Amino acid sequence: MASTPASWIELQASAFRHNVLALKKKAGSAKLMPIVKANAYGHGLSQVAVLAKKWPIWGLGVAHGSEALQLRKAGYRGRVLVLSAWDSKELLTLAKMGIEVVVNDFTTLNQVISFGRRAGSRLIRIHIKLDSGTSRLGFLPSDLRRVKKLLNDLPRTIIVESLWSHLSSSEDQASHVTEDQLVQFLTMTKALPPTRYRHIACTAALIRFPDTRLSLSRAGIGIYGIWPSPPTRQAAKGVTLKPVLRWYTTVRQVKNLPKGAYIGYSRTARLKRAGRIAILPIGYADGYDRRLSNRGQVWIAGHQYPVIGRVSMNLTMVDISGSRIAVGEPVELIGPHVTADRMATIIGTIPYEVLARLSPAIPRYTV
């Protein structure tokens, strides 16, 4: 790094590879599709695209067509599947770049059919999403007779690669919901023409429910080294995951303050005795959640220190009373000592949100 930015993210390439191989092994004969939506769960889509070229995977999954195009721009030439939404105006570009798309209702199915009839010899691969009980995107059981009729009359340039669905509760302690959804999904697939792949498993499912692995499994949060839930971790016999992301900043100012000094907006903190604070150049605009005000922890020079006062848009204060911390000292915001899981627990959310909300403007480096 030529100069020190306000904060930066480091990605551990060896941890990425470890996680991919661990989940690939757990998936058995099923192929593995890492999911890199939401800026690769906050890790950086372009950075992950570079690393993914060396992974033994089926391809990558994204949420939107724009993310798929960004992967191509970053130099990723493997298979890419758009899982949630694409615009009909970008369908030609997606097809030209070999990007595969979801079809989840009659609107998208008819758009693809119309494209196939006018696109000449341009091939496009589609994946039919079925709603097996999550009540989000996907065809319902009552739609299948009409879907089958349309699929049996597709233009030859349209290839149906898979039937797939999404589980609602594979991370939860109870197992009957996942088992029921799998039965529903398999029943629905029997009503449609066979495809090369069927997939329904996420990280939690491929670890906890072997029958969900089928021919292709999707792995999201797990490839970043984060457990989806405590029940998943408890069921992961022989599987270890290594967190990939570390987020750092530096101390920009140190202040000695007298007893009774108020800290930050709305005076939510007051020193009970004379002390020292460190001011960090990060805040909620960077993804450091405002709910960490007076609750968060950071790691500096081998010790943990509490956030004091309100987290503001671009600044956060830390109580470093009794220390010799100086300006320029590195600060771990997320890492081995301050985990995304712990941060999520403090603010009452899940690590997915903690990571996905990290600002794309933060520089990311692979180490």
**Where in the sequence numbering do the catalytic residues fall?**
37, 265
For residue 92, give the nearest of 107, 114, 110 by alpha carbon: 114
Pairing between strand 79-85 and 59-64?
A: parallel
For 54-69, the DSSP string reads: TS--SEEEEEEHHHHH
**Measured in whole angstroms, how far is the alpha carbon of residue 117 from the centre of its chain?**
35
Give the pairing type, strands 316-319 and 253-257: unpaired
Specify the DSSP element, H or E, that contains 85: strand 79-85
Largest Cα separation within the chain, whole Å, is: 79
316-319, strands of its sheet edge to edge: 253-257, 275-280, 316-319
Q: Which residues, including other chains, have CB under 8 Å from residue 334's CB and lie 6 or more apart?
A: 245, 246, 247, 340, 343, 354
Q: How is residue 74 written in tokens?
A: 């970053």
Phi, psi of 101, rounded to the nearest 5 degrees: -130, 150
Q: What CA dihedral angle connects 290, 296, 299 and 302, to 10 degrees?
A: 160
- Phi-psi region at 294: left, alpha or beta (left = phi > 0; alpha = psi -120 to 50): left
Instruction: Give me the residues paired with residue 199 across strands.
Output: 164
Other beta carbons within 10 Å of 337: 15
What DSSP element (H or E) covers 271? none
Across the strands, what pairs with 164? 129, 199
Q: CA 242 to CA 332: how far, in whole Å?
A: 17
